[in-house]
Chains A and B, each alone.
Chain A
Amino acid sequence: MFIVIIGCGRTGSLLAGNLSRSGHEVVVIEHDPESFALLPVDFSGFQIEGDAAENDILKEGKIESADLVIVSTGNDQINYLVSQMAKVNFDVPRIMVRTIDPAVEKMYENEDRVESFSQISLLAENMINKIEREGMR
């Protein structure tokens, strides 16, 4: 698969490293060049420095031919704008968005092609599952 990842923070760089290692073609877009240092040494994809909220930068990352776009900056508002740009302006078939404030999840509820992942909800769910499972014993 050809995957474009927006944001190369801890989440973006971890995803980029693992996905490229398992054989996917990966492009990472990040406005702060220092963040590319978070990528593992064996990362074999491309790095593009720039503001993903600009169509030209997304085009540079060949987003129009992406099978999947992962939006993982640390800002819910930027993530929403970029996910909509990917969907409307570039017709990307599948978009995964990281959300920070769980209150934001509802924004993506009725959207086709866009899925949201909330780190807080996932964490809580995980813990609750574990508590309940152990409670069963």
Chain B
Amino acid sequence: MDIILVGGGKLIYHLGKKLISKGHFLTIINKDRKLAEDLAREINATVVFGDATNKTVLEDAGAYKADNLVSLTQKDHNNLFICKMAMDYFGVERTTALVNNPENEELFNTLGITGIFNITDLISSIIEQSVSADDVSNLTMIEEGKLSIFQVEVSPVSEAVGKEIKDIDLPLTIVLGGIVRNGEIIIPRGGSQIKAGDKIVIISLPEEQAEAIKVFGGEE
């Protein structure tokens, strides 16, 4: 793939190296002269020094032949503008923007940006998970974080211990995918009883994750 990366500070170096090692063709646009010079020396990519909100800079970076443009600057208005310009002026099909203000996620989506990194929500959910339970593992996000799948170990103090699944007070949007007990998989039914030490595989909306962890992890 032909990929253009915009901005991104130090992150861009590592991201760039990783993408190149996977065989993608990379063009990096950065308006910090020193960083652009360093990148040009250290990375096997085309580096363009300039402001990507400027049409001619995007043109110099070969936007008309890019498959994907990723805008990672610290300013949401620049990320939106750069992605829209790439789409409207150069026909770039996939664009990805970093979103700092979580409220902008929906707007950017509506405006046709195909990939969105909602960095604030992402970090806050990671922080919440690590403080709310140490027993949560294997967290996977589906569709850019719209659905999460994770595993939680049932604590001895959990209100669910000894109860049948149908008697546990859970939001309807939380689905139990499996129970792991002594290395065996039990497919959960309404009548399955929960025991302390069980590992429950849960599928839920990210916003209800904390609720599920509270019920089985037994923490307030």
Q: A54-B101, A76-B53 are in contact. Are A81 and B88 (CB under 8 A)?
A: no
Q: A103-B55, A107-B88 are in contact. Are A81 and B103 (CB under 8 A)?
A: no
Contact with B along A81-94 (1 / 0, CB 8 A): 11011001100000
Residue A75 CB within 8 A of the other chain: yes
Count A-side interface residues using an 8 Å CB cutoff: 18
Q: Is the interface of A mostly helix, strand, loop or mixed?
A: helix
* Residues from chain B with Cβ under 8 Å of A55 in the complex: 103
Are A88 and B111 interface neighbours, CB within 8 A?
yes
* Residues from chain B with Cβ under 8 Å of A89 in the complex: 107
A55 to B76, CA, bound (A): 13
B26-67 with Cβ < 8 A to chain A = 53-56
Residue B75 CB within 8 A of the other chain: yes
Are A106 and B88 interface neighbours, CB within 8 A?
yes
Residue A129 CB within 8 A of the other chain: no
Q: A53-B101, A85-B107, A88-B111 are in contact. Are A80 and B55 (CB under 8 A)?
A: no
* Residues from chain A with Cβ under 8 Å of B81 in the complex: 76-77, 80-81, 107
What is the chain B residue whose CB lies nearest that of A56?
Answer: B103
Q: Which residues of A contact B (CB under 8 A)?
A: 53-55, 75-78, 80-82, 84-85, 88-89, 101, 103, 106-107
Q: Which residues of B contact A (CB under 8 A)?
A: 53-56, 75-78, 80-81, 84-85, 88-89, 101, 103-104, 107, 110-111
